[in-house]
Every structure is written in C-alpha cells, then in structure tokens.
Amino acid sequence: MRRDEWNAFVKEHMDISDRQTLGIMCSVNEADQTQAVASIAAKLYDCIIKKIPDIDFGGIPLSKGDITKIPNYMEISECLTTLRDLLIENKQSTSSVDTIFSSIEYLKRYKETFMKGFTLECEMVVVTYNTIALSIVASTSLLLSSAIEFIKDPAAEQFDLCISKATKNNTKDGLLFNNLEKFNKACKKGTVEKAMMDLCKAQREVRESTTAQLQENFITTAIAAATLLALATCIIPILHQLTSFLACLRQNISDYFAVEADIVRLNAEKVNYDRSKSEESKKKIVAKQLKIADHFKSISNKLAIKSKKAESDAVKDIKNEEDKKYKADEVYDTLPDSSGGLF
C-alpha cells in the first residue's frame, strides 16, 4: 500500500487524536496495514448488512446478476429513452438519464461476474448487484416523477408528456444520483470489476479450503491489500450511502414500477388515439389518459415527499456512521508485531 493511501485511510477512519493510536498507525508494516483496512471494511460493511432487511428489493435478487431479467426492465428502458428525447427536444441536459443508462450498461458488462457471485453465494457481490439494480429502478422513477408532467393538449384534446416547469425536488443532486455517478466512475477505472472478481475468487478459495477463515461475514484471507483498500474507500461507502437512503425511504418496489408503467401506458394510449377514427373512441381514450395522469400525479407527489424526508434522514445516519473514528485496540485484536510494543 502506498504511503499516501495509508495516510489518507488513517486520517479518515482512525482516531489520531489518541496518541497511542497515532503511534501504532505510523509504525505498522504493510501486513498490519492490510489487517487494519480489512477490519475497518468489515465494520463499514456490517452497517450495510443491518439495513438490508428494511429494503424491498422485490424480484431483483431473482435475476441473479442479469440486469436484463429484473422486473419491468423493458419499461424502464422505454421510460428513460422517452425522457431523454423530451429533454433533448427542450434543449435541457440529459446528464441524469445518462447516469442511469451508464449504470445499466456497466451491470450488463459485468453480468458474468455478478452471476458468478450469485452462484458462489458471495454476499458482497450479491449485495452490490442488488443495491445498484434497485438504485437504477428507484432513480428512474424519482427522475420521471420530478421531471415529467401529463398535460392536456388543447388542440388535440388528448394528454401528452412534457418536461415539468417546476422542479419538485433536486433529484439529480441527491444521494441516489451522486452515488450512481461514483459507481460509474469506479467502473470506468476498472475498480468495481477487479473487486468483484477478487471477491468471487476469494469465495471459491474459502469454499475449497478448510483453513481459510471468514471475519464478520467479510472475506479477508484471500484478498489483496489493493482490493481491500478499494472496497473500504470506494465501493463500500457507495453501498453504504445507497442502502441508507433506500432503507430510510422504505418504498415498495411496486410503486417505482407503477410510475414507469404509467408513462408506458400513456404512450400506448397516444398511439391508440392517433389511430382512432371515431369521436366516441377518442373520448374513451382521453378518459383513460385522465385516469393514468391522475394516478401518476398521486404517486409522484407521494414519492417526492418521501424521498425528501428519506434524503434528510439518510444524510444524518451516514454522517453518524461514517464519521466514527476508531482507536487501535478497536481495529487490532492483539498488538501488531510491527508496532514496536506501543499498546
């Protein structure tokens, strides 16, 4: 581990106001540094695991690492394309939509690795996939609900989609989008792929070995120091922030799908309206569109209110958990040989 990496890690996670801790952290060798990183990573990961029961992943785990097999995958893609077209038409930034599309593409690119993680029952790989996949579903619905309105076209007497003039919340600046962007950047650097592959390899070795050990549900014996550092400083913090938000939101996944379904249904009814020739038929279609519009507005308003509170609550939880500083005796069970007897 490079000295600057170790110094940054110690500054972020260790209580360097404690002289004994500072002395030990400044003197330990690379092997003991790796042990400290593994211990901190395990503690941070445990915060994530405790939040999982409060999150409704729906049928996402059943896709077993293949994002194209999650429920409503085609509808999500259609909605994102529709929104992107509307933004381009209105000469607005498509960065939020592009962020979600990129996350989808990276999950598709690493499909084999994530599927292997499910087969090997490698918990962190499974948690990573499920969390990013649900974040894609949730961010799509929150973006649609904040960016799109159903407006009745006076000329055609039917409803159409348009970009909302009044933004309901700062969705694109929230925890979901910020962390999906971090995930995309980590994927671009190759950090995520290498970490997931190393975790799968370690899981396989643990299964095949009778001597390998598991520490607090976290594989530490067969993972390189560089991967442990990437997990502790990059991937785990991303998962921690996403799971914190999703747990605070406590939203049924069916509600996300309902938002996306309304967009798809309205588009379908628009096609039916254009093809319809009788006035009676057109009136029935407009009545359907009105019901869809009312349903969309109702769910969108509820999501906006809940997501705003969840964002606030999650930020507080994250700060409390990530700001914790550890003393040396909380990281090491016994005095590290390389510390020179500073305990």
d(Cα 200, Cα 27) in Å, to the nearest integer? 32
Side-chain-facing half-sphere of 149: CA atoms under 13 Å: 10
Q: What is the pLDDT of residues 168-211, one digit of tens each?
A: 445 566 899 999 999 999 999 999 999 999 999 888 887 776 54
- pLDDT class for 222, splitting at 50, 70, 90? low
Supply the pLDDT for residue 146: 80
pTM: predicted TM-score of the whole model, two decimal places: 0.84
d(Cα 227, Cα 215) in Å, to the nearest integer? 16
Q: Report the chain's C-alpha Rg in angstroms.
A: 24
Q: Which of 125-134, 156-165, 254-263, 264-273 has the lowest mean pLDDT?
A: 156-165
d(Cα 47, Cα 36) in Å, to the nearest integer? 17
Domain map (residue ranges) of the chain: 52-326
Q: What distance, in Å, lies between the first and last C-alpha atoms of the chain?
A: 23
Q: What is the largest CA-CA distance in the chain?
A: 90
Check whether 329 has a pLDDT greater than 50: yes
Supply the pLDDT for residue 215: 43
What percent of the chain is modeled with pLDDT above 90?
38
Q: Where are the alpha helices (DSSP H) in 123-235?
A: 123-147, 175-188, 191-208, 225-230
Q: What is the pLDDT of residues 32-45, one digit of tens each?
A: 888 888 888 888 89
**Segment 243-248 mean pLDDT:** 95
d(Cα 285, Cα 316) in Å, to the nearest integer? 46
Question: Does residue 43 or residue 161 have the better pLDDT?
Answer: 43
